[in-house]
Structure 1
Amino acid sequence: MSQNCIGKIRSNYARLSEKEKKIADYILDDPDKIIHGTINEVAEDLNIADATVFRFCKRIGFKGYQAMKIALASEIITPNQQIQEDIEISDDDDAKTIADKVFQANIRTIENTVEILDHTAIQKAVNLLLYSNRVEFYGTGGSAVIAMDAFHKFVRTGIKAFAFIDSHFQLTSASQLTESDTAVIISHTGTNKDTLNILKTAKRNGAKTIAITGYPKSPIAQHADVALYTSSEDNEYRSEALSSRIAQLSLIDALYVNLVVLNKEKAQRSLEKIRSTISETRM
């Protein structure tokens, strides 16, 4: 997959430091300056050190300034540079146009998340889930819906999976976890107080922890055993947290399918039991 420089900048923007945002704005305002300029010229224009520009390039996923410059040049001479403008919703848009733009924005959220996906972390998460006696999914607010969707999927794998909507029930359940269990904690910002308490409780009991969040420097990401990140953007009609859910669901799907592939017979038996039970209740 080609590296989308502008997409990387926009998807990481909320997590950047003030100096890094200054560089990001400089690039987004006039990409040609980067394509035709040197790292020294950029640093001089912004009154910052060359090393700061270099660290910015690394922060958004490039090996250095030259690699970012090549990716940006390739992007600018293609229609991809119009994507952001094309998905901005206008008050004059009709129903079909708005629907098209929403779908395009969701596609882009997933594409940006794939670009920042850490495959080593995915493998670690799969291993934790595969060898857990019990897996619990936690999230508050909108993330609670994602946790319930995860439960709906994972209960079909044959693994003991659980999720609760109420935050007090979640905390109570986390207090019963053991070293053989895994807690999957979902929070876009990674700073929610209730979710942090659940994470601390799970870790105190020796349970393994997996975080799904949009912020690598958040407390949840920093303290979980494995952290998986999503990328999203906000606009006038939909917050960043709302748009992140499509990426969170996709991450859950990726973990679920990995487990089914590795545990086919157990998953098949579990699915047959579910189907049989549902069929009996309908008779």
Structure 2
Amino acid sequence: MNGVLYRVRESIGAVKQTEKVVAQYILQHPEEIVSMSVQQVAANCYSSPAAVLRYCKSIGYEGFKDFKLKLAGDLSIISLHDLEKEPLEPGASLENIMSVITNNNVQSLYESLQLLDKEELTKAYRLLVDAEKIDLYGVGSSYLIASDAVQKFMRINKVCTAYSDFHMQRVSAVNLRANDVAVAISYSGETKQVIDCIKVAKSQGAKVIAITKYADTAISSLADAVLFVAAKEDEFRSAAMTSRMATLNVIDILYTACAHEEYDEALLHLRRTHEIIQQSGEKGGRNS
């Protein structure tokens, strides 16, 4: 799956009007597009073949043929897994809620996997492997993701911090150095507090990894490595449900890649942390 329809949806607010009509037509007729020529698409959306080609290239494809090939692959997976679901309607049954929420989360993970660039991912985890200290910045649900990352990376002996207080985030950022890494977590890519922190971190020479949505955002423009995630939120899922799942998955990928890079050492630290946690549990049980 190539995340084609997600890229198209996200591009609508960023492309020119002549290309916007192409994107809207694709979203309305994805199945038909696969068997159409570039001239047919252009005629149907009152555009030009050149505009259709420009649009396909603007969202990362070599041309219209490459776009159609990737779209066909996406549609087959969507059909196989029944991923495309209508928004929940008022009075939806519990069974419907279970199905829609689960399928939207699965869709987000599928699309995010295809948005991840291998070179950017390699760059990101190598920065984390070599980092003397890792700072993670996030607000709201993004802070919870940052906190989850801290408890993972600390288990393999990586020095890392995540503060919920914005002022402490700034204090931590100003104490970073050239061998340190700041991880910015913001689905919108425009969270002011996070932008402020990574600007401070960069001023100290630290490298920046951004985990954000597929778009040209302030955070992605400041980062040394950018990892895109996909999400499909509706009015009742504004608490960053699918974006949270997708971002946690990226954190898990980075953590596992780092652990495998230094496999024997990481395994030793994991065993030690497991043993000390077990010991604290036994002591707590005896004292109760």
**1:234 deviation in Å?**
2.0
**1:15 deviation in Å?**
5.5
Is 1:161–2:164 an aligned residue pair?
no
- State the distance in 1 between where 2:262 and 2:121 align: 17
Higher mean C-alpha displacement, 242-251 vs 60-69: 60-69
Indicate if the aligned counterparts of 1:15 and 1:215 stay in contact, CA closer than 8 A: no
> Would the alpha carbon gap of residues 43 and 61 (structure 1) be closer, same or farther in structure 2, given more than 3 Å must change?
same
Indicate if the aligned counterparts of 1:216 and 1:222 stay in contact, CA closer than 8 A: no
Q: Could you tell me which residue of structure 1 aligns to residue 28 of structure 2?
A: 29
1:39 counterpart letter in structure 2: V
1:97 counterpart letter in structure 2: N
> Would the alpha carbon gap of residues 58 and 178 (structure 1) be closer, same or farther in structure 2, given more than 3 Å must change?
same
Is 1:151–2:188 an aligned residue pair?
no
Alignment deviations for residues 192-233 of structure 1 (CA, whole Å, 9 cap, x no partner):
111111010000000111010014310110111111100111
**1:243 deviation in Å?**
1.9
> Would the alpha carbon gap of residues 118 and 47 (structure 1) be closer, same or farther in structure 2, given more than 3 Å must change?
same
User: What TM-score, normalized by structure 1, do the two folds share?
Assistant: 0.88
Q: Could you tell me which residue of structure 2 aligns to residue 255 of structure 1?
A: 254
Q: Could you tell me which residue of structure 2 aligns to residue 63 of structure 1?
A: 62
Is 1:234–2:236 an aligned residue pair?
no
Q: Gaps spanning 5+ residues in structure 2: where? A: 284-288
- State the distance in 1 between where 2:255 and 2:81 align: 35
**1:7 deviation in Å?**
4.8
Alignment deviations for residues 232-281 of structure 1 (CA, whole Å, 9 cap, x no partner):
11223213843211110000000000111111232233223323332343
- State the distance in 1 between where 2:112 and 2:76 align: 23
Q: Could you tell me which residue of structure 1 aligns to residue 122 of structure 2?
A: 123
**1:88 deviation in Å?**
3.0
Is 1:269–2:268 an aligned residue pair?
yes
**1:30 deviation in Å?**
2.8
**Matched positions, count:** 281
> Would the alpha carbon gap of residues 184 and 73 (structure 1) be closer, same or farther in structure 2, given more than 3 Å must change?
closer
- State the distance in 2 between where 1:145 and 1:195 align: 14
Is 1:208–2:196 an aligned residue pair?
no
1:90 counterpart letter in structure 2: E
2:218 counterpart letter in structure 1: P
Q: Could you tell me which residue of structure 1 aligns to residue 286 of structure 2?
A: none
Indicate if the aligned counterparts of 1:87 and 1:102 stay in contact, CA closer than 8 A: no
2:53 counterpart letter in structure 1: F
Is 1:17–2:15 an aligned residue pair?
yes
Indicate if the aligned counterparts of 2:6 and 2:230 stay in contact, CA closer than 8 A: no
> Would the alpha carbon gap of residues 262 and 78 (structure 1) be closer, same or farther in structure 2, given more than 3 Å must change?
closer
> Would the alpha carbon gap of residues 154 and 234 (structure 1) be closer, same or farther in structure 2, given more than 3 Å must change?
same
Indicate if the aligned counterparts of 2:2 and 2:115 stay in contact, CA closer than 8 A: no
- State the distance in 2 between where 1:68 and 1:275 align: 48
Indicate if the aligned counterparts of 2:22 and 2:47 stay in contact, CA closer than 8 A: no
- State the distance in 1 between where 2:62 and 2:251 align: 29
Match of 1:237, SS state, is: helix
Match of 1:196, SS state, is: helix
